[in-house]
Amino acid sequence: MGSAVYAIFGKNPDMTQPMFNEAVQGIKSNLRSVDLALSGDWLVGSKVTLADIFLAGCFSLPFQVILDQGFAKAAPKACAWFKRVSELPEFVAIFGKVKLAKKSVKPVLKTEEKKKAAPAQAAAAKPKEEKKAGNPLDALPATNFVIDDYKRVFSNEKDKAGVGHTNMMKDVDHAGWSFWLLHYEKVGKEGQVGYMFSNMLEGFVQRLEGFKKYSFGRFCMLGEEPSLEIKGVLLMRGHDINVQELKDHP
């Protein structure tokens, strides 16, 4: 757990990106285990014990620099438990007030140096590069609908609800693309405070950055406090919502 945190603070000079990713997954896996074990408000019995204070202390820094709000839905009970423990006077007296991370902090990683080889040896020593596995969406039957070109057309159309919508439904390759209505499933007290809910929406969109070449859509925060909702419409490649990008960001 500590190795990933040390890397964020620049205290782990030998940490590489794969090593950091593995360490972060370990932290998340440990918190999911806590989530599965919780059957009430506390780890043991019906009141707080030293076990709660000790274990929450171990997660104190990860919650401030690694475990952002986007992860909360993967372990809701554990996240609620940590918030409950971290607000106890006994906890604050030792660890201070914990400010939960809105998004994870980037680590300071080791820069790998490439060794120069002699010209004659370079060709012989160079191993065959394995082809990286592409996105499964690239293996779908060819489509004549170029999403990047259409984004510019739609964005520049002033009458989006009229001409823009009519042309979109006419131009989209419906055999290769599909429309989806998304409605954010709130947990606990989410949606009661505008700026906090807006931050969650922005974080969700940022984490879908790598999905832009396969999708086009709009997400909005609707309604008024304390009953805000997040809804959106997504045009995406293929006809199956069960793609890796949306598995990673449910």
From residue 125, give the alpha-carbon distance in Å to each of 103, 121, 129, 200, 229.
42, 6, 12, 49, 58
Same domain, 90 and 140: no
Q: Does 163 lie in the same domain as 69?
A: no
Burial class of residue 182, CB neighbours in 10 A (0-12, 13-18, 19+): middle
Q: Is the peptide bond before 226 cis (omega within 30 degrees of 0)?
A: yes
Domain-embedded: residue 108:
no
pLDDT per residue over 109-161, tens digit each? 877 655 555 565 555 556 666 666 678 888 889 998 888 888 888 888 889 88
Determine the structural domain holding residue 75 and report its residue range: 2-95
Q: What is the pLDDT along the chain (250 residues), one digit of tens a residue?
A: 678 888 888 877 788 888 888 888 888 888 889 999 898 999 988 899 989 999 988 998 888 888 887 777 778 899 999 999 999 998 888 888 888 888 888 888 877 655 555 565 555 556 666 666 678 888 889 998 888 888 888 888 889 889 988 988 999 999 999 999 989 888 888 899 988 888 888 888 887 877 888 899 888 999 999 999 999 999 999 998 878 877 777 6
Whether residues 147 and 210 share a domain: the answer is yes
Would 202 be classed as within a structural domain?
yes
Residue 208 inside a domain? The answer is: yes
What CATH number does the domain containing 46 carry? Answer: 1.20.1050.10
Domain-ending residue, one of 95, 128, 149 = 95
Same domain for 152 and 239, yes or no, is yes
- Is 20 a member of any domain? yes
What the block records as the tokens of 50 is: 């030293």
Residues 6 and 57 in one domain: yes
Q: Is residue 101 part of a domain?
A: no
| Predicted model pTM | 0.47
Last residue of one domain, picked from the residues 36, 69, 95: 95
119 within some domain: no
- Number of folded domains in the chain? 2
Last residue of a domain, one of 46, 72, 95: 95
Tokens for 14, please give them.
């030998």
Same domain, 239 and 149: yes
Please check whether residue 4 is in contact with residue 24, taking contact to mean a CB–CB distance below 8 angstroms. Answer: yes
226 part of a folded domain = yes
